[in-house]
Amino acid sequence: MVLNEYIDEFVNDLHTQEVFGKWAEEIAEEKGEEKGEEKGKKKKATEIAQNLCKLNYPLEDISKATGIPLEKLKKIESEQ
């Protein structure tokens, strides 16, 4: 059997397609969870920054503690 024929047979096999389909779904689900976790971390950091701004902490210290850039902190501060 020629390599191309073997590859075609392998790729067109229903079991192979099912296995790879499940694998792709698992990867997509993991990526979605990672994105959700990252979004949640950013939201929590913003909430903490808002609270520290209310307590008049220096923006430089808030930036160091939360990882939020100074420009964004200035915006957060002005919105309060």
Per-domain residue ranges for the chain?
A: 3-78
Contact partners, residue 17, CB within 8 Å, separation at least 6:
11
SS (H, E, C) 17-49: HHHHHHHHHHHHHHHHHHHHHHHHHHHHHHHHH
Kindly give, in sequence order, each residue whose CB lies less than 8 Å from that of residue 45, ignoring residues fewer than 6 positions away.
Answer: 66, 67, 68
pTM: 0.65
- pLDDT tens for 39-66 read 999 999 999 999 999 999 999 999 999 9
